[in-house]
Amino acid sequence: MTAAAYVLMQELRLAAHHTDCARAQVSTLREQLIKLGVRVEVSVRRVVLHLPASFPFQSTWHRIAIPLGARAG
């Protein structure tokens, strides 16, 4: 689990190179990008995360998620 968490954080750091989180520490990435409440909608072909409208780091989250394979919806 530790190795998986390390790989996840490294991928987030690589994807965040053109954002406000480009030089962020692991604790900052966790607070701003991972620890958030979303509504999850699961179907056979995809998983959709509905972010809250008042989420302050939404643009950063989108700019990091797209290179990691997410599609804007």
**Model pLDDT, residue 73:** 63
Strand partners, 40: 49
- The answer to which of 2-6, 12-16, 36-40, 69-73 has the lowest mean pLDDT is 69-73
Enclosing domain of residue 19: 2-65
Q: Is residue 73 part of a domain?
A: no
Number of domains in the chain: 1
Quick: pLDDT tens for 29-73: 888 777 888 889 999 988 888 888 888 888 888 888 888 777 776
**Model pLDDT, residue 31:** 80
Residue 55's nearest CA partner among 71, 26, 31 is 31
Q: Is residue 70 part of a domain?
A: no
